Amino acid sequence: MLPTVPGECAINASSPPPAVQLTGITKRFPGVVANHDIDLTVDKGTVHAIVGENGAGKSTLMKTLYGMHKPEEGTIAIDGEQTVLGGPADAIARGIGMVHQHFMLADNLTVLENVTLGAEKLHGIGAAARARIKEISDAYGLGVRPDAMVEDLGVAERQRVEILKVLYRGARTLILDEPTAVLVPQEVDALFDNLRELKSEGLTVIFISHKLGEVLSVADDITVIRRGTTVASVKPGDVTRKQLAELMVGSELPTPETRESTVTDVPMLQVEGLTLAEKGDNAAVVLSEAYAGEGQPASASRENVPLGRLLLNDISFTIHKGEVLGIAGVEGNGQTELIDAIIGMRAPDAGTVALDGKDISSWPVRKRREAGLGYIPEDRHRHGLLLDSPLWENRILGHVTEKPNSKGFRLDISGARADTERIVEEYDVRTPGIDVNIGTLSGGNQQKLIVGREMSHHPKLLIAAHPTRGVDVGAQAQIWDQIREARREGMAVLLISADLDELIGLSDTLRVIYSGRLVADADPATITPEELGSAMTGAASGHLEATDGAQGAGEEEGQR
Ligand SMILES: Nc1ncnc2c1ncn2[C@@H]1O[C@H](COP(=O)(O)OP(=O)(O)OP(=O)(O)O)[C@@H](O)[C@H]1O
C-alpha cells in the first residue's frame, strides 16, 4: 500500500486535480543543491516541457517524480493525492512511467518479450499479452510489431516500444527524457503525433528537451528551470525561441555568426576505399564473394554478398585544412564503423586513411591521437569517460603522453589538474570541483569536459560525433564557436550529428551516408533539415546530388 495523505492538496472541486503537483522540492547531493524549492504543476491531458541549462536540475526532478530520488524537502501529489514514493515501483503503481534517454531494451528479445519482461503478472506472456500490446499500439498509433526482434528495429521504433512498455504497465503520465535527440525530423513529427494522440486520450506527457523549436511546437505548457529552481512557467504562444533561451540562461544569447568559408585546398584527412564487412563466422565467405571479379571493393554490392553485409562500402573522401565535413545519416548506417576505422579502433578490410599526408592506416590508436587526431565520441559513457573517476583524471584520458598531462616520461598531475580547472572555467562545466567523480555531473556538463579536453590539444583533425548532444543552447553556441575558431586556424573536422541544424550550420561540405555508402552530397547553404532528413532515410531529393556511383543505393533497405 502506498502512503497517501488524501485531501492535502488544494484542488478546485470543479476541475480535475493536476496529474502531477510537486511543491517545494529540494534535493541535495554532496556539494550541490540539484533542486531547490521547486514547484511544478502539470495538468492532466497536456504535454508539458521542462527546459533548462545543463545541470539545471531537470533530470533530478524527473527522477524524483519517478521515485528514483527521495527529496529532502517538498511534497509530491499525483492525481490529487499526496504520496511518498519509495522507488520506481511505487511511481509505476501510481501511473507514472519514464522513458529514459538511453533505451533499456534487450536486443536479442522480441518486442513482446521485452514488453512483458517483469510484467508477466499483468497479461502473461502469450496471446493475452499480444492482444493487449496490439490494443495499445492501435489506440495511440504506435505501429509496434509484437514479434519483431528489437535488434532489427530502428531508433524511432525502439522508442515507440519503450513508450508502449510504459503504457502496458498502466502509465497515465509519461516522462520522456530528451526523446528527440536521436530522431530525424520526420521521426520527430511522427513522435509528436503519438504524443498528441496520448494527450487526446487524456494521458499526460512531461518531456525534457534542449530543442526549443520542438518544445514550442508541441508543448501546452513550459516550465523553465535555472540553477536548481523554477524561474518561469510559460505558454508556447507567449514566448519566442530566443526569449525562451534567454529565460533558461538568464542573459541574452549572442547572435550566431554568419557563414564564412575557411576551407583551404590542403588535404588533412584522405580516406580511400574504406570497406568493412560485418564480422562473424562467415566473414571470410562474405569477403571473398564481395571482392570476387574485379577485385575492387567498389564492385561489392549487397546483391552479391549473401552472408553478412558491408558496413562500409568503398567510402572515399577528403577533408581539407579549415573544412568541416558533415556526414548525415540515420544512426546505424555506418557512421560508427567509419569513425572506428579512422581512429584505429577497427581494422577495415580494404582502404587507406592518411592524416596530413601520412598514411596512418596501420597505426595504433595512440599513435594516431599523438599525430593530431582529436575525438569527441558518440557514446561518452563507453569511450569518452571513466565515470567513477574524478574530473582531472578524465582530463588525462586518451592524452596520457601529451602535455600538460606529462613531463618527459612522467605523469604531470599538477599540470593536468591546473588544466582541468582551466577547462571547467572556460567551458562553464558546472561542478562542485575537479575532484568529484565525473559520473555525478549532469550529461551536458560531462560533454563540455570532453569537448574542452579534445580542443585543448589543438587537433589537426577533430572527429566530432554528436558534439553537442545533451548540451543546452548556450553551451551549444559556445562549442560551435570553439569549433569554428579552431577551423579558422586550420583544424579539419569530421562532423557526425543527429542534430540536422548543427550539421547544416557547421558544415562546409555535407554528405549523406546510407547503408554503409556515401550516397549523396548536399549544399549546406541551401538544403533544409527536412530535405536532408528525407535523404537520410534513402529518399531522393531535388536539392541533393547523388555521389558518383551511388545511384540506386537509396533503394536498398536501411541498416539501422
Ligand atoms: N547522483 C548524483 N550525485 C551527485 N550529484 C548529482 C547526481 N545527480 C545529479 N547531480 C548534480 O545535480 C545537478 C543537476 O543535475 P541534473 O542531471 O538534474 O541536471 P540536468 O538539468 O538534467 O542537466 P542536463 O541537461 O545536462 O542533463 C548537477 O550539478 C549534477 O552534477
∠ CA 401-405-409, rounded to 5°? 45
Q: What value does the mean pLDDT take over residues 122-130?
A: 86
- Mutation test of ligand 1: which of 29, 176, 180 has the most ligand atoms closer than 8 Å to its C-beta? 29
Q: Which atom of ligand 1 is nearest to the CA of 56?
A: 21
Going from the Cα of 437 to the center of ligand 1, the distance in angstroms, rounded, reads 12
Instruction: Read off the pLDDT band of 306 (50, 70, 90).
Output: very low
Whose Cα sits closest to atom 12 in ligand 1? 34
**Taking Cα atoms as reference points, which of 429, 507, 439, 503 lies closest to residue 472?**
429
pLDDT of res. 288? 41
Condensed to tens digits (0 to 9), the pLDDT of residues 135-179 reads 999 988 888 899 999 888 888 888 899 999 999 999 999 999 988
Distance 34 CA to ligand 1 centre (A): 6
Tell which atom from ligand 1 comes closest to the C-alpha of 57: 18
Nearest Cα to 87, choosing from 64, 110, 60? 64
Q: What is the pLDDT of residue 496?
A: 92
In this predicted structure, what is the pLDDT of residue 204? 96
178: alpha, beta or left, given left = phi > 0 and alpha = psi -120 to 50?
left
Q: Is the pLDDT reported for residue 289 higher than 60?
A: no
- Residue ranges and CATH numbers for the domains of the chain are 45-57+86-249 (3.40.50.300), 254-276+310-372+459-560 (3.40.50.300), 382-458 (no CATH)
CA–CA distance, 441 with 432 (Å, rounded to integer): 9
- The whole-number pLDDT of residue 258 equals 59
For residue 301, pLDDT beyond 80: no
pLDDT at 310 (0 to 100)? 86
Instruction: Give the phi and the psi of residue 221 in degrees, each rounded to 5.
Output: -140, 150
Judge whether residue 541 has pLDDT over 60. Answer: no
Query: Exposure string (b/e) for 335-353, b if CB count within 10 Å is 16 or more?
Result: bbbbbbbbbbbbebbbbeb
Q: How far is the CA of 444 from the centre of ligand 1 (A)?
A: 9
Predicted confidence (pLDDT) at residue 558 exceeds the cutoff of 60: no
Return the top range by mean pLDDT from 23-27, 330-334, 524-528. 23-27
Residue 536: pLDDT above 60?
yes
Task: Return the pLDDT at 528.
Answer: 84
Question: Which pLDDT does position 547 carry in this prediction?
Answer: 60
Per-residue pLDDT band for 102 (boundaries 50, 70, 90) equals confident
Ligand 1 atom 6, closest CA: 440
Report the complex ipTM. Answer: 0.98
Residue closest by Cα to atom 17 of ligand 1 = 442
pLDDT at 559 over 50: no
- Residue 109 has a CB neighbour count (10 Å cut-off) of 15
pLDDT, mean of residues 17-46: 94
- The pLDDT of residue 300 is 38
Highest mean predicted confidence (pLDDT) among 6-15, 95-104, 386-395, 489-498? 489-498
Name the least confident of 47-51, 297-301, 331-335, 521-525: 297-301
> Is 552 or 524 the better-scoring residue by pLDDT?
524
pLDDT of residue 19: 96
In the prediction, which pLDDT does 272 show? 95
* pLDDT, tens digit (0-9, with 9 covering 90-100), for 219-255: 999 999 998 999 999 999 999 988 898 888 876 655 5
Question: Cα(423) to centroid of ligand 1, in Å?
Answer: 19
Question: Which amino acid makes up residue 177?
Answer: D
Q: Ligand 1 pocket: which of 206, 208, 210, 441 to mutate (most atoms <8 Å of CB)?
A: 441
Percent of the chain with pLDDT over 90: 44
Question: Closest ligand 1 atom, CA of 443?
Answer: 26
Mean pLDDT of the chain: 84
Residues with C-beta less than 6 Å from any ligand 1 atom: 29, 32, 34, 52, 54-60, 430, 440-445, 470, 472
pLDDT exceeds 50 at position 307: no
Place of cell 553551451: 475
pLDDT given at position 189: 86
pLDDT for res 251: 67
Nearest protein CA to atom 19 of ligand 1, as residue:
55
Q: Whose CA is nearest to atom 13 of ligand 1?
A: 34
Confidence band for 382, pLDDT divided at 50, 70 and 90: low
The average pLDDT across 349-371 equals 93
Nearest-5° angle of CA 432, CA 435, CA 441? 50
Average pLDDT over residues 81-105: 91
Q: What is the DSSP pairing of strand 373-376 with strand 324-328?
A: unpaired
Q: pLDDT at position 477, please?
A: 83
Closest ligand 1 atom, residue 225 Cα: 21
CA of 101 to the centre of ligand 1 (A): 14
Give the confidence band of 297 by pLDDT, cuts at 50, 70, 90. Answer: very low
Distance of CA 257 to the CA centre of its chain: 25
31 CA from centroid of ligand 1 (Å)? 12
User: Can you spell out the DSSP letters for 78-134?
Assistant: ETTEEE---SHHHHHHTTEEEE-SS----TTSBHHHHHHTT-HHHH-SSHHHHHHHH
User: Measured between alpha carbons, how far is 529 from 259 in angstroms, rounded to an integer?
Assistant: 17
Tell me which residue has cell 516522462.
175
**Nearest residue by C-alpha to atom 24 in ligand 1:** 54
Cα of 440 vs centre of ligand 1, distance in Å, is 7
Q: How confident is the model at residue 292 (pLDDT cuts 50, 70, 90)?
A: very low
Q: How far is the CA of 55 from the centre of ligand 1 (A)?
A: 5
User: What does the pLDDT average to over 472-492?
Assistant: 87
What pLDDT is stored for residue 396 in this prediction? 81
